[in-house]
Chains A and B, each alone.
Chain A
Amino acid sequence: MRYLDREAFGKLVDALAGAGYDLIGPTVRDGAIVLDHIDGAEDLPSGVGEEQGPGTYRLTSRDDDMVFSWAHGPDAGKRFLFPAREVLCTAKRNDGQLTVECRPGDERPFAFVGLRSCDLHAIAVQDRVFLDADPHYARRRERALFIGVNCAVPGGTCFCTSMGTGPKCTIGFDLALTELPGGFVVEVSSPRGEQMIEVVRSREATEEEVRAAQAVTTEAEGQMGRSLDVADMPELLYRNREHPRWKDVAARCLACGNCTSACPTCFCHDIVEGMSITGDTATRTREWASCFSEEFSHIVGMEIRKSRESRYRQWLTHKFASWIDQFGTSGCVGCGRCITWCPVGIDVTEEITAIRATDGEVEVAEEVMAS
């Protein structure tokens, strides 16, 4: 374990920007701690905290200058590695001859600062979807640097301990920081991480500092705002496809798609064709899609998931159950963003708990109830 004081950490962040990396880190904007392109360490939050609950997110001020004493804002690494709109291919037609090119662009590589363990796990989940299939994603992913942060203050909707994805960073980082009042205990986990930390003055962390860092994680584990029993997945949701709870939650759900946008693993997308005004160049663009929209399941002459309950069931069952069959991992990392950013505060942990409590219950047809 290494130790970086606050100044050295700032220099490291600035050095990444100076070396040409597209620096992505947390910064305060529009009443939230968002993840965005930043110029250097001075853009990072300081003395800011947050409160999260179902349908609620508020910034708070802290009486210290801690940088990372909050859980997470609305966005994760997904927005950068898998952008909401991206041109995948360009087609041209000259004298009737068609050409289609789908090469990834040559953007600056990302350096992520301050991703949480849930966010790093979410990237590992999206890796299983995109890494072998999509060269655009793969190129960005493989070039990016990752400085993770072990969570000190989980949010009111967090349940990463239930999903086995936090609060301590265990995968997907080059460096992982634990913030202490004067500086950072740093775990170095890759050759790239070793080179990064060489750039600035660091020293071996003392035993006391290492113990203090461990205490931060231990304390965070005890502060999760939510918990969820994921035993018997995927079968629990597979055998409850006709459960009355789907109708109940559908009556509250607005089908707005906020949960799918805020979710760091949701990967569904549309492919949209566009044409230049001159008519000689066409573009194939990928755009985030939501399984909450009616047209998502459109086939000739019909929408397969016409009712809202069928769409909610698709999302929740995919996230917690069929994802396991498809990709060998749950699609949920327990970040709780879908709960915080749901305008009506629907809580996935509550929905699954309700289904588990009445496991096997089947919706009774209305005519039967009427008689």
Chain B
Amino acid sequence: MLIRLIGVAIVVVGLVLKFDTIATVVLAGIVTGLVGGMSIMDILTTLGNSFVSQRTATLFVLTLPAIGICERYGLKEKAIDFIRSIKSATAGRVIIVYEAIRTLASAFSIRLGGHPQFVRPVVVPMAEGAAVAKYGEINDEMQDIIRGGAAGAENYGNFFAQNCFMGSSGTLLIAGFLSETLGLGETGAIALEVAKWSIPVAVISMVLGVIRNIWLDKQLDKANKGGNK
């Protein structure tokens, strides 16, 4: 029984030790097949068969040319303009507004770019600006709270809303698995259903984000009283 799990062990060890992901996955597949008594030709055939039938999981490539042109014509710049135009009183609220935009964009598969293009140049300066206006100056602890919170909001919006789009790679992975392993039908049709069932999590994530960042303002109040240590 235990020997059958060697593929799982290879994936775990390979990824923990930061070996190349694709090579790790392929190696895990081959070794699992060998242990399961398959011949090399069987393994290559099984691998090739599922890879070809799983091409759906890579359909997102077809959306790249359109997105690329939109980027060339100012998609990210306009998103930044929009966020800058919003006046928010506290650091927490600035982060809430960003998370709302990120969640919406993610659900519509609009790639805003994340930490380097958005959080550092736009969200953090705005949130810290709001904090300076409120508290006069901000100490190191407050700075870490704001920056950690802003980076987190980017992750929440990105992770928990992306599956609402039926063509996102995560949704297609889930649908591909259900189609290939359980024989549930065409991947795309399942993907549409998976996308629908991903909406509750996206909404809840946004609600939790609001609570998290109201609490963030409280954390700042407390850290402000502590003074600069």
Does chain A bind chain B?
A: no
Residue ranges of A at the interface with B (Cβ–Cβ < 8 Å): none
Residue ranges of B at the interface with A (Cβ–Cβ < 8 Å): none
